[in-house]
Amino acid sequence: MKLPVPSVIVSILLISVTSVQNELLQNSDFESSSFHGNWFCKDCSITSYTADVYQGTRSVKVTHRSHSISSPHQKVSISPGQNYIVKAYFKLLNIHPGTMYTTVFLRVNLQTNGKTVYQKVAEQPMQQLKFGWTEMSGDFHAPNGTTSATVFLEIVDVDIDFLMDSASLQILPHDPHWSSKAHHRIQTLRKAPVTVKLAPGQSAHGVYVEFMQQKSSFPFGTAVHADHLGNPSYQAYTDFVLKNFEWAVIANKLKWKGVEHIRGHTNYTLALNAIQLLESHGINMRGHNMFWGKDKFVPSWIPAMSPSNIVHEMQAHVRDIMSHTQGKLLHWDVNNENLHGDFFERHTTDPDITHKMFQWIHSIDPSIKLFLNDYSVLPVSTMTTAIKNQAQNFIKSQVPIGNIGLQSHFYTTDIDIDVLKYRLDKVAEAGLKIWATELTVDAADEHKKAAALENLLTMFFSHPAVEGVILWHFWDGSNWHQNEALFNGPGITPNAAGQKYLDLVQGSWRSHIKRRLDQDHLVNVTMFKGDYVMHVRQNGHVIHQENFTVDSSGKDLTVHLTGDHHHVSHIVFG
């Protein structure tokens, strides 16, 4: 039996002025039992409530709702040209009979040039009663001509009562120094100290050490087409991938609908051939994806099954694909875009079925990092707090979640870095490392695309919670949207954006250092973390080569020369 899952919406009104640090709402914490001059309810009843609060001694209880937007409101004048952050905590007291969960929206109605502009600031899908107090937050921009804003939670089902507490509305301040701060963080987060000295009592003339980085400890990678890799017709593509990327993800050939289009008939050939090729060249791989809960991406033979049979087929799918890929993939996107697709929840009648997906994979291979992977988190704020909440619920339920994947598809070059950092910081509150798993910038102007890409990569590389960046393709022969391409034509030639990517990832963010070494000259440098080859040279000739890895603890090396000082007997790592 399928349980109907109506969409839900709740409502809060919040608005702002131009102060950077001041709270813009009156009675924002609901500690005053009087709502005169601050909160008002649209066709509902609000009462001060002390039996259950998020913090403090009072919350507000919302009952007798007549419309989806029946909820506490507060209206404030705001200034155009500003970014604002709005937040409140809510707790459902019931859900609509016969449903497993509901959806809550945070909306803002702006008065701009005499007209009402409706914005969806945030969405909290699949909100269960057991989740209790939940943060609802997001950001919005007041365009020119804006005079006021009305922010509200909306719940479609009018029979849902709820509590609200700890609301806030503040300006998100602009940081004109974000770039210099980001570059400082890169120096402290992504580099480590390396010292080299001669063994005690030794001296030498004309000795130099040269460090050449071979791999970065920070993953940069790309999605790849399995049918292109190793295909003689796409030799340039294969060569480019193997030369320029250290991580990869098979874009489509591991998805269930493609792997098992006909029940019981699986085909992994292209995917496994690509995996073998990448593995043989030392390229790490992500698995994308085990399940995809949007109806159109589910195998066509699944929907007609009973809930128990669907679960049986899901478990069989996990066992089958793991039998082919275990030990080859380091990550799995478990239930792709779960915040946007609840097919498996609806058809198994289990609101926690995604928890079980994680547990099934983990039970087979505990070493694999398991990801949430979703969109509308960074380019817009719709799901920013939702994915943070989802991750926190998984952790609370002891689900073996490893990381949060943010797809990061940008359809404009006008990217507000203040907003981007706020959204990254918000997701980071979950306490898990973040990956940009499908980065694209869709723009016809390659120079604007290059500038936007540089800002995005700089923010990602400098953020302490971000652990890796994967491009969602790179070439106009494989990109879904042509304007996303960083490289063009049969020669895979970089456009301005592609050249910027290479300049950063293979240039500015790699270390290649040469220093003189003698008894009185200690080599003391900071280098990007990763794998290195060190050459010890004397009079221009390489007399020794050593491979080593620089991690967060750095590295101390002592060079021991032979008697004639023309050879290195060994190097001690301290």
pLDDT in tens, 146-156: 999 988 999 99
> Structure tokens of 167?
């609301």
> Structure tokens of 535?
């050459």
> Three-class SS string for 16-50?
CCCCCCCCCCCCCCCCCCCCCCCCEECCCEEEEEC
DSSP for 378-426 reads SSSSTTHHHHHHHHHHHHHTT----EEEE--EE--S---HHHHHHHHHH
Query: How are strands ordered across the β-sheet holding 115-127?
Result: 75-77, 146-154, 102-112, 115-127
Domain 40-172 has CATH 2.60.120.260: yes
Enumerate long-range contacts of 127-132, CB under 8 Å, 24 or more apart. 127/8, 127/92, 127/101, 127/102, 127/103, 128/95, 128/100, 128/101, 128/351, 129/92, 129/94, 129/95, 129/101, 131/92, 131/389, 131/393, 132/91
What residue type is 66 in one-letter code?
S
> Structure tokens of 221?
């990678």
Closest CA to 569 of 198, 321, 268: 198
CATH architecture of 188-212+511-573: Sandwich (2.60)
Whole-number pLDDT of residue 10: 37
Q: How many residues does the chain have?
A: 574
Whole-number pLDDT of residue 480: 79
Pairing of strands 162-172, 403-406: unpaired
Q: What b/e string do you get for 286-317 counting C-beta neighbours within 10 Å, with b at 16 or more?
A: bbbbbbbbeeebbbeebeeeebeebbebbeeb
Whole-number pLDDT of residue 22: 85
Residues of the chain predicted below pLDDT 50: 1-20
Residues 6+ positions from 516 with CB-CB distance below 8 Å: 207, 208, 523
**pTM of the entire structure?**
0.94
> Three-class SS string for 487-541?
EECCCCEECHHHHHHHHHHHHHCCCEEEEECECCECEEEEEECEEEEEEEEECCE
Closest CA to 55 of 79, 89, 6: 89
Alpha-carbon distance values, 367 to 300, 361, 465 (Å): 32, 10, 21
Q: Is 161 exposed, middle or buried (0-12, 13-18, 19+ CB in 10 A)?
A: middle
The sign of the dihedral angle between the CA atoms of 414, 419, 423, 424 is positive
Same CATH topology for 188-212+511-573 and 218-252+286-295+315-508: the answer is no
Whole-number pLDDT of residue 370: 99
The CATH code that applies to domain 218-252+286-295+315-508 is 3.20.20.80
- Within 10 A of 49 (CB to CB), how many other CB atoms are there? 17
> Structure tokens of 228?
């292109």
With beta carbons less than 8 A apart as the criterion, state whether 462 and 208 touch: no
- Within 10 A of 206 (CB to CB), how many other CB atoms are there? 13
Element (H, E) at 92: strand 83-92
> Structure tokens of 131?
């989740």
Whole-number pLDDT of residue 199: 87
Kindly report the CA angle at 571 between 567 and 573, in degrees rounded to 5?
A: 170
> Structure tokens of 425?
């910081």
Q: Identify the three-state secondary structure at position 337.
A: coil
DSSP 483: G
Domain ranges of the chain: 40-172, 188-212+511-573, 218-252+286-295+315-508
| Integer Cα distance of 530 and 532 in angstroms | 7
DSSP 4: P
- Residue pointed to by tokens 């003339």: 205
Whole-number pLDDT of residue 75: 94
With beta carbons less than 8 A apart as the criterion, state whether 244 and 501 touch: no
| Integer Cα distance of 181 and 183 in angstroms | 5
Whole-number pLDDT of residue 574: 61
- Residue pointed to by tokens 């365009």: 143
> Structure tokens of 529?
């973390």
